[in-house]
Amino acid sequence: LAPLTVVPRGFGGSTMADVLHYVDRLVQPYKPRAVVIYEGDNDTFYGVPPMQIAGELKQIISKIHAALPDTRVYLLSVKPSLARVSVWDQALEVTELYKAIAASNDRLHFIDVATPFLKADGTVMDDVFVDDGLHLNDKGNRIWAAAIKAVLMVEEAQYETTND
């Protein structure tokens, strides 16, 4: 995501409940100007109801803004995958809830990382995953990064400081 300054704090296998539990430790010490959140994929697969996922997200945002009122939060849609086609309808519901949450506050932004992984007929691309059909390969990671960077460069680049 260069030239943006990034402090990666993601951890594999996480759910929205995990982020809620660890948000104070993951975010506040760094006093970031922005936070990017990707959750919902594991949650939907584990059967967590979309409204619960959205409720936990609202709690996370409240905690971030209580400590860091000016911090912008970017909410990534749930991405499709070959391995989780069975829960795609729930993932779409979660994504719609994320959009509504993002629309409720000018410090919140929605990033669509799902559409770039869909073919013209609406099915999931099959050449962007490693063998498990869930995790992204190099091509998938390039698509993922481009979707995120397209929004962050418009919204966040203006806040980036350099040592020039």
How much is the pLDDT for 83? Answer: 97
Instruction: For residue 164, give the 3-state DSSP assignment.
Output: coil
pLDDT tens per residue, range 6-42:
888 888 899 999 999 999 999 999 999 999 999 999 9
Q: Is a pLDDT exceeding 90 seen at residue 144?
A: yes
- What tens digit of pLDDT does each residue of 68-127 get? 999 999 999 999 999 999 999 999 999 999 999 999 999 999 999 999 999 999 999 999
Single pTM value for the model = 0.94
- Look at residue 4 and tell me whether its pLDDT is greater than 70: yes
